[in-house]
Amino acid sequence: MLFSSLLLSAVAGAQVAYGKFSIDSNNTFTANQSTGISCTDDPIVIQSSGDASALGGCQTISSLRIDKSASGDLSISGPRQIKGDFNADGADNVTSITMNDLQSIGGIWKLNGLTRLNALTFPRLGSVDTIDWAALPVLQSLSFSTGITMATNVVIQNTQLNSLDGINLKSVTGFRVLNNPYLTSISVQLTEIKGALDISANGRNLSASFPNLETAFNMTFRNASGVSVPSLATVNQTMGFFGDLFADFSAPNLTETGRDLVFVGCPELTSINLPKLTKIGGGYQIANNSKLGSIDGFKNLQTVGGAIDFSGSFTNVSLPSLKDVRGGFNLQTRADYSGCSGFQSLSGPNNVIKGTFTCKGNEKNPGGATGTSTGTNAKKTGAASHIQVSAAGMVGVAAGMVGLLL
């Protein structure tokens, strides 16, 4: 009996050290020689369900790769930690991946081109360095019971996910969710985003909620039906909204943006309310929002580091605290507008608006200041200049602008 116990202990030790053996509850052990997989392989390559079941004694592994030849349901028990990457690229016959014991991935978790993958079950996973998922066209939901609370970067694109339940981060460097046509809800408890936040081209009824977000670096929203950022105080670079479908936008605690603030082509937008905003470090653009009749939610805005460029069908523009616009001023509206003289009185090299000045009411084709006036009440001084939206959706200021841009 003593010899038997020692032998079983030795086998169990060998299993942990080398992953060559498995042992069941009856102390029966078998050699996994058919798989040729060892816990020390880097990476460990999974080609079959047999390979997946050979990792029972491996608590920590260096990296894991699911081979393109793998298929069906893969259940990988044993590993609690992957120090490096977890890569499944092009394994288009894999239908599900389950890792009941895994708690952390130290590198990139890449899932790409798994066209039959319909289930991800990771009940204990809480930490991933980078999530990089693309082309998962039948993946609809996530089974992450504990929930991922720590990650550096997240990119999720071209999936069939309808929510991101199970991904609940507090801080992240980059968070990009793109081209997920069935995604209708994003709610993340982030307090800080150190890099790019990009929520673009997802489900038409997508609602994005970041209730605890206080500081962001660069924010882009496209085609969203709702955006909620009640705690947001500072955006270090640009905050832009392009083609979004919400009627109202409010950021009650936002005080400044380091660069541009942009609302372009949002057809349902009727109200923008940023009551504490005092400074826009770059350009300030509101354009082609057909239902926006009044621009009056910026009562404390004092400083614009670039140009102001407003075009649309609004009848009222109110910026009562404006003290310093270092670029130009372009206001063009289809409506009858009588406020040009008030802004013109602020224009001049040593005045509030230091760059070019253009103001037009009853404008048939309102747009940038380089356009030809077809309206009345037109007032224009200086050379033409306007903010332009690039193909990448970022905002710059045209080369003709006078004054400090950023």
Q: What does the DSSP assignment read for 134-148?
A: EEETT----B-SS-B
E strand residue ranges, 67-170: 71-75, 81-82, 86-89, 93-98, 104-112, 119-121, 127-136, 153-159
CA triple 272-273-275, angle to 5 deg: 150
Of 244, 235, 237, which Cα lies nearest the Cα of 199? 244
**pLDDT tens per residue across span 158-196:** 999 999 999 999 889 999 999 999 999 999 999 999 999
Segment holding 18, helix H or strand E: helix 2-18
What is the pTM (predicted TM-score) of this model?
A: 0.82
234: left (phi over 0), alpha (psi -120 to 50) or beta: beta
| C-alpha radius of gyration, the chain, whole number | 28
- For the chain, what is the total number of helices (H) and then of strands (E)? 3, 40
Report how far residue 165's alpha carbon sits from residue 187's, in angstroms, rounded to the nearest whole number. Answer: 8
In the block, tokens 């082609």 appear at 288
Q: Which residues of the chain have pLDDT under 70?
A: 1-35, 368-406
**CB-neighbour burial class of residue 206 (10 A; exposed 0-12, middle 13-18, buried 19+):** buried
β-pairing, 303-304 vs 279-280, is: parallel
The Cα–Cα gap between 343 and 278 comes to 18
Q: What is the dihedral of CA 353, 356, 362, 363, to 10 degrees?
A: -140
Distances in Å between the Cα of 289 and the Cα atoms of 311, 329, 338 are: 8, 18, 20
Cβ–Cβ < 8 Å for 303, 323: yes
The CA distance from 358 to 47, in Å, is: 66
Alpha-carbon distance of 270 to 293, in angstroms, equals 7
Q: Is 332 helix (H, G, I), strand (E, B) or coil?
A: strand
Q: Which string of DSSP letters, residue by residue, matches 37-79? A: --TT-SSEEE-SHHHHHTTTT-SEES-EEE-TT-EEEEE--S-
Which SS3 state, helix, strand or coil, does residue 96 take?
strand
CA distance 60 to 40: 9
CA distances from 225 to 69, 112, 249, 263, 291 (A): 41, 28, 10, 14, 15
Distance (Å, whole) CA 234 – CA 12: 55
pLDDT of the residue at 26: 54
State residue 16 phi and psi, 5-degree precision: -70, -40
* Interacting residues of 191 by C-beta distance below 8 A, sequence separation 6+: 170, 171, 212, 213, 214, 215, 231
Beta bridge partners of 196: 218
Q: How many CB atoms lie within 10 A of CB 89?
A: 17
